[in-house]
Amino acid sequence: MTPGAPESATDLDRAMMARALELADLAASEGEVPVGAVVYETATGRVLGEGRNARERDRQPWAHAEFIAVQRACDAIGDWRLNDATLCVTLEPCPMCAGLIVNARVGRVVYGAADPKAGAADTLYELLTDDRLNHRCDVIAGVQADASAEKLRAFFAGLRSGRREAD
């Protein structure tokens, strides 16, 4: 591949997105917004950390799937640098998570659905590739985007439906 050319998703990326979608389902079953994330060694596919949204359960604003997966990956390798890792997440990272990704030096980010309200990889901001920051990572967008978006649509439709029934 030529330098600067955009990467394409690999079979490993697609397999990890399938796992992230499973984690999103677990989050939804717990009443959390259905987002799942997996951090893995880019070269070997060894899973370093997994996470799913847990803000309601943990009552913490930072308990996003990416944050939890990155924290677990750093614990697994005993370092805060994840240069040789890929983060695969079902929803485009928000500004908080994008800041974490940059600070953790994650090498690649693969995400599913774009987030028009808070996306910080491509949609509203481009924090992961901003030349002004001290780290940039490769970003691959749209892997299993339809499946990721459908989980979110179904979850929020269920919430709206439940509110109507309670009225």
- Residues 25-64, buried b or exposed e (16+ Cβ, 10 A)? eebbeeebbbbbbbbbbbeeeebbbbbbbbbeeeeeeebb
The single-letter DSSP state of residue 94 is -
Distance CA 7, CA 23 (A): 25
Q: Is 41 a catalytic residue?
A: no
Catalytic residue among 30, 66, 126, 165: 66
**So which residues are the catalytic ones?**
66
